[in-house]
Amino acid sequence: MRIHLATAVVTASLVLGCGSSDPIMERDNGNGKGGAGSASGGSGGAGGAGGAAGDWFGPGGQGGATPIGGTDGGLDLDAGCGTSSVEAEQIVIENEIIIEEMITEVQPVAMYVMLDQSMSMQNKGLWDPAKLALKAFIDDASSAGVDLALDYFPPLFGEVGECTGAGYSDPAVPIGRLPDHATSIHSSLDALPTASGFGTPIEGALRGATQFCQTFQAANPMEKCIAVLVTDGVPELGCSEDYAVITQIATDAQAAGVMTFAVGLAGADFALLDMIAMAGGAEDCSDAADRFACDVSGGAAQLVDALNSIRDVVTTTTTRTEIMTVIEETPLECEWAIPEEGDRQFDKMLVNVELSSPGGGEVAFGNVPSEGDCAARGWYYDDLDAPTRIIACEATCDLIQSTPQAKVDILLGCETVPIE
């Protein structure tokens, strides 16, 4: 990951000399002339020494540039200087920085919902509301990341359902992760327009749900699985009706690491469901003092709330701090790269720097040998012998940054004007 800090304070441009009076070209011919005698706006000093021997082609020119001695105004340059310009390259440095980031992770959890589809669910008008509540739960954004399997009890005609749990440990809708798995669950619920099962074999349903979760956790040791029994009835017809036998199923599952929740709709045997929930290690799901199981006898909205509450109780959220090293790019607003001049060799003695703004005119900056020689409105090279950067002195940089809409021109082609 990169952090880019882009703060534009000034506009920098590079101005190249050109034309027949270009001092660079006259140096090429060995006939270079000295720069102008003084900077405009103040008293000029004596002319500088003659130009150095031509770095490109010819011998040195005659005369030199007048030093800046605290003067204002722009550079008084020959007509051949500053007639074309290109954008200068601002220096950008890269630093490694260490940052701390808080990362929140939700540990996956599996839920096996065992839904009562007995005829009493249909006769009491509970079937459609129960299906809608389950759909609302799986479509809730907070359920994203939950692995969910769904089965029904008692079995319909021709289906397998046994008190040993064998018929219920294989869900009608295999386990899958929400929200992608929601479509499969919707399809299964929609394929059952009515509830027509006969009897309420809670023993077989509970055994099957808890057996499934134990098998799942053995194969997925990092993910816990919980069994959720949703019913409106009492145990009857075929399987055990003994509370102790049924409660022991939840007790054994809890010992194996599987939690069991019990959810009761209108008409449910809450005495038994309370015992199942307590034995299964579930948290108290009811505000009533005499109730422990989830009591949703008030309607579908309560069933949605109960399922959401169960999900929130069993979902584990962890927060950790991660320390990372990133690269921070920082532009140096008062440093500029040595501009490229095509095939021509850069001449450090033919460079000037000038500041301008829409309402403030032009201010010439003068060259100093090094940072230690800095003066007001001065600039220097990072390396006098082999320069790669043009750097404004601190006071000069302050002036640039305090000037509205500042524009810095790097002028090439005329003798460098020094500060004395």
Domain match, 261 and 388 both: no
Last residue of a domain, one of 250, 285, 320: 320
Per-range mean pLDDT, top range of 98-102, 276-280, 281-285, 386-390: 276-280
What average pLDDT score do residues 133-155 get? 95
Tell me whether residue 123 is in a domain: yes
Domain match, 275 and 164 both: yes
Burial of 179 from C-beta contacts in 10 A (0-12 / 13-18 / 19+): middle
Domain match, 162 and 187 both: yes
Lowest mean pLDDT across 38-42, 302-306, 313-317, 355-359: 38-42
Alpha-carbon distances, residue 361 vs 64, 178, 285, 353 (angstroms)? 25, 67, 78, 14
Domain match, 85 and 197 both: no
Domain match, 109 and 256 both: yes
Domain match, 173 and 294 both: yes
Burial state string for 275-301 with b = 16 or more CB within 10 A and e = fewer than 16: bbbbbbbbeebbeeeebbbbbbeeebe
Identity of residue 198: F
Domain match, 176 and 289 both: yes
Higher-pLDDT residue of 156, 265: 265
**End-to-end alpha-carbon separation of the chain, Å?**
47
Tell me whether residue 333 is in a domain: no
Tell me whether residue 417 is in a domain: no
Tell me whether residue 418 is in a domain: no
Check whether 261 has a pLDDT greater than 90: yes
Domain match, 258 and 407 both: no
Domain match, 157 and 256 both: yes
Check whether 384 has a pLDDT greater than 60: yes
Could you tell me what percent of the chain has a pLDDT over 90? 49
Query: Structure pTM?
Result: 0.55
- Phi, psi dihedrals of residue 306, rounded to the nearest 5°: -65, -45
Q: How far apart are CA 212 and CA 162, in angstroms?
A: 14
Here the CATH number for the domain that contains residue 146 is 3.40.50.410
Q: How far apart are CA 153 and CA 151, in angstroms?
A: 7
Q: How does residue 62 score in pLDDT terms, banded at 50, 70 and 90?
A: very low
Check whether 47 has a pLDDT greater than 70: no
**pLDDT attached to residue 83:** 38
Tell me whether residue 313 is in a domain: yes
Q: How does residue 52 score in pLDDT terms, banded at 50, 70 and 90?
A: very low
**pLDDT attached to residue 407:** 84
Check whether 106 has a pLDDT greater than 80: no
Higher-pLDDT residue of 420, 31: 420
Could you tell me what percent of the chain has a pLDDT over 70? 74
Q: Mind listing the pLDDT tens digit for each residue in 227-247? A: 999 999 999 877 999 999 999
Domain match, 114 and 82 both: no
What average pLDDT score do residues 192-216 get? 95
Q: Are 334 and 129 within 8 A, CB to CB?
A: no
**pLDDT attached to residue 319:** 72
Lowest mean pLDDT across 44-53, 133-142, 170-179: 44-53
**pLDDT attached to residue 195:** 93
What average pLDDT score do residues 132-158 get? 93
Tell me whether residue 325 is in a domain: no
Q: Mind listing the pLDDT tens digit for each residue in 313-354? A: 887 766 777 777 777 766 677 888 887 766 777 889 988 888
Whether the ω angle into residue 179 lies within 30 degrees of 0, i.e. cis, is yes
Check whether 39 has a pLDDT greater than 90: no
Alpha-carbon distances, residue 337 vs 87, 228, 235, 292, 381 (angstroms)? 11, 69, 85, 75, 10
- Structural domain of 218: 104-320
Tell me whether residue 327 is in a domain: no
Q: Mind listing the pLDDT tens digit for each residue in 10-36? A: 445 555 444 333 333 333 333 333 333
The set of residues, in sequence order, having a beta carbon less than 8 Å from that of 20 and lying 6+ positions away, is 80
Q: Mind listing the pLDDT tens digit for each residue in 149-171? A: 999 999 887 677 889 999 899 99
Check whether 185 has a pLDDT greater than 60: yes
Tell me whether residue 63 is in a domain: yes
Number of compact structural domains in the chain = 2
Domain match, 42 and 148 both: no
Query: What is the token pair recorded at 38?
Result: 């003084």
**pLDDT attached to residue 18:** 40
Burial of 87 from C-beta contacts in 10 A (0-12 / 13-18 / 19+): exposed
Domain match, 6 and 131 both: no
